[in-house]
């Protein structure tokens, strides 16, 4: 018996669906506060020294945090090839905008202090704002479009046809999800600044973070109500084959109002996901007002976990519905790589993911502590 048959195909597909969620949540929880800090930079810091303090709270860690984005993209490419093909082709312009915004971050970090000119530095500060705000917004917009269904279809030979455009992605519900994403990551960035800074910066971060936490709850509840009354979900109507070949056209599916809430009705335990999303954000608000430092960051991560996982469990087994042809929708059971590929990737993940977690933990342990004005004003060649 070959090693890849030690775990059956159905279980491997489930494992990789969970791992995809772990990687996406890991990106939002780790790189998310970097994006949030960038979004807050022009507002929480009033002087050049204060802005250098804010930048140096994330300067040593942002590159390592982006590993989660690379891992997520790599996992989609290797474990879910049709998902990668449709999403990265259909969302090409949106992905390009995200890439451009993310490129501004390292350039901003490196170039900002090259000149003493206030105009020069202010320009790069706003570039860092764009590098935080734009990806946060577009990632949320993408999730909003996925929940509504993406305009793609397959030919009989599984050739992909995408019939959408960039402006079609900017529909009202998707924009609401984008605002939710911005509020959630801004809340997380503010929690990081409360932990890592002192004085006026920490006070402003607490104020902005409290507002962002409240907006996270409001936008999340509004999105749930909108989904209940105005967004049709998807349901498989044919026999579900969990260990068959990866061909999306082997099934039939329909649009149905309330379908995204079916899993919560059938398995009430899953309601813990949206509850954690709301309670986590509420706890951030309470902890910030109470003057706590570590708790807002932990509760922010809990809220991120709840909000993102609630989307995943609501859609299961769908991972990318088609608004043009529901039968072409991609699910966990019909869009994965082969059993051997999933098994080999699982072995590699079991080896390397713990290493990533270990060195990430070690880095944060070494860099633990606050960044203040004295550190920046000293002749420190390692500070941005």
- DSSP letters of 104-125? HHHHHHHHGGG---HHHHHHHH
Question: From CA 336, how far away is CA 249, in angstroms rounded?
Answer: 14
The verdict on residue 309 lying in a domain is yes
Question: From CA 193, how far away is CA 54, in angstroms rounded?
Answer: 7
Give residues with Cβ within 8 angstroms of 183, minimum separation 6.
Answer: 212, 215, 216, 219
The verdict on residue 4 lying in a domain is no
The answer to whether the beta carbons of residues 27 and 360 sit under 8 Å apart is: no
The verdict on residue 222 lying in a domain is yes
**Sign of torsion, CA 64 66 71 74?**
negative
90-116 pLDDT, tens digit each: 888 888 899 999 999 889 888 888 888
Tokens of residue 83, six digits: 């998902």
The answer to whether the beta carbons of residues 273 and 304 sit under 8 Å apart is: no
Angle, helices 199-230 vs 9-44, to 10°: value is 130
Which residue range forms the structural domain that includes residue 134?
20-377
Whose CA is closest to 166, among 148, 142, 149? 142
Residue 88 has pLDDT above 90, yes or no: no
The verdict on residue 11 lying in a domain is no
Question: From CA 337, how far away is CA 237, in angstroms rounded?
Answer: 24
The verdict on residue 12 lying in a domain is no
The answer to whether the beta carbons of residues 149 and 323 sit under 8 Å apart is: yes
Question: From CA 277, how far away is CA 299, in angstroms rounded?
Answer: 9
29-75 pLDDT, tens digit each: 988 999 999 999 999 999 988 999 999 999 888 888 888 888 888 88
Question: What's the number of domains the chain is made of?
Answer: 1
Q: How many residues does the chain have?
A: 384
The verdict on residue 127 lying in a domain is yes
Least confident of 27-41, 68-82, 207-221: 68-82
Q: Is 267 helix (H, G, I), strand (E, B) or coil?
A: coil
The answer to whether the beta carbons of residues 380 and 40 sit under 8 Å apart is: no
Q: Is 331 helix (H, G, I), strand (E, B) or coil?
A: strand
The answer to whether the beta carbons of residues 322 and 328 sit under 8 Å apart is: yes
The verdict on residue 3 lying in a domain is no
Residue 367 has pLDDT above 90, yes or no: no
272-298 pLDDT, tens digit each: 999 999 999 999 999 999 989 999 999
The verdict on residue 336 lying in a domain is yes
């Amino acid at each position: 018996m070959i090693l890849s048959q030690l775990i059956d195909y159905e279980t491997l597909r489930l494992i990789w669906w969970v791992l995809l969620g772990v990687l996406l949540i890991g990106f939002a929880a780790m790189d998310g506060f970097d994006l949030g800090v960038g979004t807050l930079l022009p507002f929480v810091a009033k002087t050049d020294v204060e802005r250098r303090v804010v930048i140096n709270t994330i300067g040593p860690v942002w590159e390592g945090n982006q590993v989660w984005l690379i891992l997520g993209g790599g996992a989609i490419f290797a474990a879910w090839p049709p998902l990668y093909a449709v999403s990265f082709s259909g969302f090409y312009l949106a992905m390009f905008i995200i890439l451009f915004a993310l490129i501004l971050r390292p350039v901003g970090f490196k170039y900002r202090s090259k000149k003493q000119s206030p105009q020069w530095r202010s320009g790069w500060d706003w570039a860092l704002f764009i590098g935080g705000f734009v990806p946060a917004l577009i990632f949320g917009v993408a999730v909003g479009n996925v929940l509504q269904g993406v305009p793609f279809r397959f030919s009989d030979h599984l050739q992909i046809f995408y019939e959408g455009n960039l402006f079609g992605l900017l529909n009202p519900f998707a924009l609401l999800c984008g605002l939710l994403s911005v509020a959630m990551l801004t809340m997380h960035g503010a929690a990081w600044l409360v932990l890592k800074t002192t004085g006026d910066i920490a006070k402003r971060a607490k104020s902005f973070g409290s507002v962002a936490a409240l907006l996270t709850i409001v936008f999340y509840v509004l999105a749930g109500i909108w989904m209940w009354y105005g967004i049709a979900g998807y349901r498989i109507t044919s026999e579900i084959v969990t260990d068959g070949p990866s061909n999306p056209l082997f099934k039939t599916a329909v649009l149905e109002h309330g379908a995204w809430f079916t899993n919560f009705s059938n398995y009430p335990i899953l309601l813990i996901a949206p509850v954690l999303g709301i309670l986590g954000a509420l706890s951030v608000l309470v902890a910030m007002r109470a003057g706590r430092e570590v708790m807002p960051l932990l509760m922010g991560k809990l809220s991120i976990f709840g909000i993102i996982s609630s989307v995943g469990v609501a859609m299961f087994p769908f991972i990318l519905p088609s608004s043009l042809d529901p039968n072409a929708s991609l699910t966990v059971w019909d869009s994965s790589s082969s059993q051997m590929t999933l098994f080999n990737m699982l072995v590699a993940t079991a080896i390397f993911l713990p290493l990533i977690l270990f060195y990430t933990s070690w880095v944060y342990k070494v860099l633990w502590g606050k960044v203040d004005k004295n550190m920046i004003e000293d002749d420190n060649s390692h500070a941005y």
